[in-house]
């Protein structure tokens, strides 16, 4: 049985997850604490959208969000 995901897909999803995490550390010091989520959401959304556009398979959002949730 052939897997739905290839190694390239896993690596790309990992880089998109790393991009979302890195954007938190870049945006965090630049804005006040109460604006942090508002400032980070568009940047995180860009990485999530790029990941969904590139992968275009079922479960692509979960492939990027689950490792992020485990990290947090």
Question: What 3-state DSSP class applies to 56?
Answer: coil
Domain count, the chain: 1
Per-residue DSSP letter, 57: S
Q: For each successive 10 residues of the chain (72 residues), what is the average pLDDT?
A: 81 90 88 87 89 87 84 69
In a domain, 2, yes or no: no
- Is residue 16, in this structure, part of any structural domain at all? yes
The answer to whether residue 1 sits within a structural domain is no
Contacts of 63 (CB under 8 A, 6+ apart): 5, 9, 10, 13, 51, 55
Residue 5 to residues 18, 19, 32, 63, Cα–Cα distance (Å): 19, 20, 40, 10
Do you know the residue count of the chain?
A: 72
Note the pLDDT of residue 37: 84
Q: Is the pTM of this model over 0.85?
A: no
pLDDT attached to residue 72 = 67
Looking at residue 33, its pLDDT comes to 84
Q: Is residue 25 part of a domain?
A: yes
Cα gap 29→2, rounded to integer Å: 45
Structural domain range at position 44:
7-71
């Amino acid at each position: 049985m052939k897997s739905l995901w290839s190694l390239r897909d896993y690596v790309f999803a990992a880089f998109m997850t790393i991009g979302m995490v890195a954007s938190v550390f870049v945006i965090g010091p630049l804005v006040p604490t109460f604006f942090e989520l508002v400032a980070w959401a568009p940047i995180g959304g860009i990485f999530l959208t790029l990941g969904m556009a590139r992968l275009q398979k079922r479960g692509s959002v979960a492939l990027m969000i689950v490792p992020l949730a485990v990290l947090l």
